[in-house]
Amino acid sequence: MKAKKHNLSESHLSPAEDASGLRFGIVVSSWNSEITESLFRAAVSTLKSAGCPDENIFRTDVPGSFELPLGAKILYEQRKPDAIICLGCVIRGETPHFDYICSAVSAGIMQLNVEKGLPFIFGVLTTENIQQAQDRSGGTHGNKGIEAAVTAIRMALLKAGN
């Protein structure tokens, strides 16, 4: 039986999913900035629509997706947010570089979740080409920045016992 795809870009947070008292960090890769900036804008918009004030959203920029885990750890140590969203975009090239980067980034973010006991959200696009990245950062497949923010809110509330 085929599972129905659920696009969190179209999710609506319930009134109980109030982010007004929460603090969020967002780590943004500068590589593929056209894509990552779109993800960032969507994530911030989603956090704000859930009641999170501007002063409770902290941004840190890193050079590329490989640096996201360390950037997230530094942001955690400096700001102590309730959740951290890691936004990046890795596009497959002609070498195995893509596989190494994607593997290292996903493992690094997962390790932070377990070690810190805090939601570190994987908002990294791993695509075959620029069109797929554009489709997932505001195009035909929604915006994964929205999905990352919805996940961050829900996990932060879960951690808080709400």
Active site residues: 97
**CB within 8 Å of 90: residues ≥ 6 apart:** 32, 65, 98, 101, 102, 105, 124, 125, 126, 127
25 backbone dihedrals φ, ψ, rounded to 5°:
-105, 145
Q: Is 120 left (phi over 0), alpha (psi -120 to 50) or beta?
A: beta
Instruction: State CA 92 to chain mean position distance.
Output: 20
Q: What is the DSSP letter of 2?
A: P
Residue 82 DSSP one-character state: S
Nearest to 37 by CA among 21, 18, 59: 59
